[in-house]
Structure 1
């Protein structure tokens, strides 16, 4: 008899490439979980910034606050916390580039830009994706919309997959190295990468393709220090088409609610 599958953890990442907020309940929207990766940090050329280029972004911590979140700098306590609302206003606008996409964005406040510029030691701005913007998933418009996430609205990882990986590492790594939205308990290691049609609490999801992992997984989210792991070990047994895979990119129903403890049923495996 197959082990039962349950949604064990839920995460939103209000600002792309910064830390997540663990929640017990989240609303589903066409672009993913509500408030997930709707804010983006861009440089003076309006190009998106991530930990791939600037590992020090891991020092910026995100905590829930009323109708928004607080940003703090773990290594610079003299910087007072910055409050950011979950949504911006269309008072100031610009075009920004994320990967191959150029999209319209709303500016955050001048205070937010100044705080981030000071925190990261280089000119940068905070911008917001409004509901008016259409950014297709990496699979194309037929697979729906996406926020400032890399390619798809959701990333699902099985807890068993991380547990198996950690048995192969000299020093275990936490789940925050992989930035999932949905963590699932039960089942076999890596089985989520074969899910095609599945449901959480009766709501339909579609697995699109396994997630190719980048150098961000090698950055300790507490210290910002880089190492070869876990990519080096994953590459020995999780490589497909010259990419290291861990987790599954997923599209969802567009509307609904997810709660920790929801049951998951798989209908079709690839």
Structure 2
């Protein structure tokens, strides 16, 4: 008993005096108590409740700085730049302005994005006094009701084959979007927090970590470095804006594609885990200023040097990779100018 107590205390940096063997019993109890306290102090539960996170061995290495933050309220419409935001498990928010909490659908509930209707990128959103106003070329501005009536229908929607619900925003908004796009009848729905989000296992293969989203393609957060865009622009005749790739966070102060290597990061009080690279599609070929889709660049150039490792073809297939998806492990807030830290053991 005495030697066991001594060993336990030495493990905590404390030595048992030779003249005190009679105190071995209470020292043994003290050792166990101190060890337990040390263990509990070193560990904390992640926000998502998925696992214990051991922090005491972690080191922080600054790898960049937040240069810009965007919230995209309506999927495929223009983003709203913000200086700071809360980061929830479902993505960024600023007050009641939420990232991709509104979705354009067909009458049968299937989602509509700029892949099918490129002119969606021309709809801009102003958020003022907790009120969303839509603007588009040759259209009068329209205020979207801040609070939807419980009488508004809840619609069943489909996003990439997964089921999700949304509250219909009403006939006036539907007529406005339909009049602007001029192709068929569309409606706008809003996700409400009591509704069931889409789960990651419905989006990716089961080995990807467990998280949830509302209407984003794949994850709560997408991040790209300014250097990665600069690298791509050196290979293109027509230079592109970051808005063409629709990230939530743009990082400066790092090398091109360094974000590919950030497994766990800390920004402000927010901890994020890397999920996967962002596989790019024809949406990147929609000009955000004209709403014209080319179906060529930047995809063709990206395919020349940003394809996945052959071992990952079952995930990405032939899509080029640009930007990284992250899940939110610890909710909090972040702002422009915040350092981006890589967390390592």
Return the TM-score normalized by structure 2.
0.73
| Structure with more helix by fraction | 2
Match of 1:65 in 2: 128
Secondary structure, aligned partner of 1:236: helix
Indicate conservation of the 8 Å contact 1:159/1:183, yes or no.
Answer: yes
Q: In structure 1, what is the Cα distance between the partners aligned to 2:146 and 2:253?
A: 33
| Structure with more strand by fraction | 1
Secondary structure, aligned partner of 2:119: helix
State the shift of 1:151 in Å. 1.1
**Residues 3-12 or 16-25, more deviating:** 3-12
Indicate conservation of the 8 Å contact 2:270/2:330, yes or no.
Answer: no
CA gap of 1:88–1:181, structure 2 versus 1, over 3 A, is farther
Q: In structure 1, what is the Cα distance between the partners aligned to 2:146 and 2:162?
A: 23
Secondary structure, aligned partner of 2:233: helix
Indicate conservation of the 8 Å contact 2:133/2:141, yes or no.
Answer: yes
State the shift of 1:177 in Å. 0.7
Match of 1:103 in 2: 164
* Runs of 4+ displaced beyond 3 Å: 85-90, 139-142
CA gap of 1:53–1:209, structure 2 versus 1, over 3 A, is same
State the shift of 1:107 in Å. 1.0
Matches within 5 A, 1:135-146: 135-137=198-200, 138-139=203-204, 142-146=209-213
Question: What residue ranges of structure 2 are gaps of 5+ in the alignment?
Answer: 1-60
**1:35-66 CA-partner distances (Å, limit 9, x unpaired):** 00000000111110001111121222222222
RMSD: 1.9
Secondary structure, aligned partner of 2:255: coil
Question: What residue ranges of structure 1 are gaps of 5+ in the alignment?
Answer: none
**Pick from 144, 159, 173: which aligns with 1:84?**
144
**Pick from 103, 116, 134: which aligns with 2:177?**
116
Larger radius of gyration: 2
Count of residue pairs the alignment pairs up: 265
Secondary structure, aligned partner of 1:58: helix
**Pick from 183, 187, 205: which aligns with 1:125?**
187
Task: Say whether residues 1:158 and 2:209 are aligned partners.
Answer: no
**Pick from 331, 340, 343: which aligns with 1:255?**
331
CA gap of 1:43–1:169, structure 2 versus 1, over 3 A, is same
CA gap of 1:98–1:66, structure 2 versus 1, over 3 A, is same
CA gap of 1:142–1:244, structure 2 versus 1, over 3 A, is closer
Greater length-normalized contact order (CA 8 Å, ≥ 6 residues apart): 1
Task: Say whether residues 1:231 and 2:294 are aligned partners.
Answer: no
State the shift of 1:145 in Å. 1.3
State the shift of 1:252 in Å. 1.1
Return the TM-score normalized by structure 1.
0.92
